[in-house]
Amino acid sequence: METKQKRTKVVVSVSALACLVVFSLSGYAGKLEPSAPPGPTMKTLDEVEPRTPIGPNTTPGDATCVYKFTQPGSYYLTGSVIGEPNKSGIVVAADDVSIDLKGFTLKGVVGSVDGIRPLDYHSNLVVVNGIVSNWGGNGASTYAYGMPFSHGISYARLEGLLVSDNGGYGIRAAYGSVVRSCIARDNGSDGIIMTNAGGVIEQCVAISNGGDGFVSFDGTTMLNCSSLNNGDVGIYCGNSGHTIIGCTVTNNSGGGIYAASASVVKDCVLRANTSYGIKITFNCLIAGNDIVGNQGTGISGVNIGGQGRSRIEGNNICANSTTGIDLANNPGNFIYKNTLRSNTPDLNVGAGNSAPTSSDPATAGPWHNIILSP
């Protein structure tokens, strides 16, 4: 009995000692004073927003404009801008300028000039994300009146702009530029115009402008655009070498698509234009288009020195007010695998063209144009 009591006392003593050790260790917190002062954890204002705000102190204007950019850099608006009579909103007078409108509006007044314009020949401009409206001249232009035709700001990117209710062009870009995801509506002249070669217009909308919806003069690529209710041609491509793919062109007063020599028009929809669906000159490829219900010819050729040499293939051409395909005066064309119905007439092809036809799809050859009954 005594031995058992001694053992109990020993166990209790050991347990108490263990608790004391644990308590002592847990209560040790180290030194109270830090070994070094704490370092900074916040970013500086320049690190948070390294760009320059647009304003009278950073981009002061002059007698011709509200704001002028004379130094390269990245700039942004901090609020909407109201124009003044006889002035443009923004004048770019430097290379390597990036302007973020930050969703704000650059708005003109009666008697104002252009929303955005260049002073002289420069390169490398970016303008994004905002509204440019109600200017007496053009909305956003990298080419300006009074300059040689090749001048302006080359290699510009205009993206995410809504350009409306301006007296002249909506958007006018110069050599090697990209216009992407922009809307040009209710402008007095053309909606979007690419003045020089090498440009791209992509995923843009031109609606209810006084002139053409889109215009390009040489070697422009146009992808997935929409042209609706404009006062003249939906898409007008002069000179040569254009690529127009996946565009929708409807209800334009002057015709659907005009494509000059060595151009490609593919996979477009042309409906209910007041005049022709597609008009071409020579050496063109016209393929896979849906050309329906236009008030003129579906596809027609312009006789330039008797030249043709175009390939017209796989188009659906229906219910146009006059001829479906009219190449009476353009020899040397290859016209294959088109489907025609309810045009007046469906086909008018002159001598020197290759255009096999059939009215029976079951017996037609692989290259025949199929003319179906109404």
Task: Tell me if 19 is assigned to some domain.
Answer: no
One-letter amino acid for residue 56 of the chain: P
One-letter amino acid for residue 342 of the chain: S
- Reported as a single tens digit per residue, the pLDDT across 49-62 is 899 999 999 999 99
Q: Domain of 344: which CATH number?
A: 2.160.20.10
User: What letter would DSSP give residue 111?
Assistant: T
Which residue range forms the structural domain that includes residue 313? 68-372
- Low-confidence stretches of the chain (pLDDT < 50) are 1-28
Query: Which are the contacts of 311, defined by CB distance < 8 A and separation ≥ 6?
Result: 284, 285, 286, 287, 333, 334, 336
**Among the listed residues 159, 219, 158, 209, the one whose alpha carbon sits nearest the alpha carbon of residue 188:** 209
Task: Tell me if 195 is assigned to some domain.
Answer: yes
CB distance 210 to 231 below 8 Å: yes
Buried (b) or exposed (e) across 19-30, using 16+ Cβ within 10 A?
Answer: eeeeeeeeeeee
Counting the structural domains of the chain, the total is 1
pLDDT for 13 equals: 46
Retrieve residue 34's tokens. 């830090």
Task: Tell me if 231 is assigned to some domain.
Answer: yes
pLDDT for 31 equals: 57
Helix (H) or strand (E) holding 64: none
DSSP 252-302: -TT-SEEEEET-EEES-EEES-SS-SEEE-SS-EEES-EEES-SS-SEEE-
pLDDT for 68 equals: 98
pLDDT for 20 equals: 41
Task: Tell me if 41 is assigned to some domain.
Answer: no
Task: Tell me if 137 is assigned to some domain.
Answer: yes
Q: Which residue do the tokens 């127009």 mark?
A: 244
Task: Tell me if 44 is assigned to some domain.
Answer: no
Task: Tell me if 152 is assigned to some domain.
Answer: yes
- Reported as a single tens digit per residue, the pLDDT across 107-130 is 999 999 999 999 988 999 999 999
- Reported as a single tens digit per residue, the pLDDT across 38-50 is 666 666 656 668 9
Task: Tell me if 5 is assigned to some domain.
Answer: no
Retrieve residue 135's tokens. 């200017």
pTM of the model: 0.87
**Among the listed residues 311, 309, 312, 284, the one whose alpha carbon sits nearest the alpha carbon of residue 298:** 312
pLDDT for 24 equals: 46
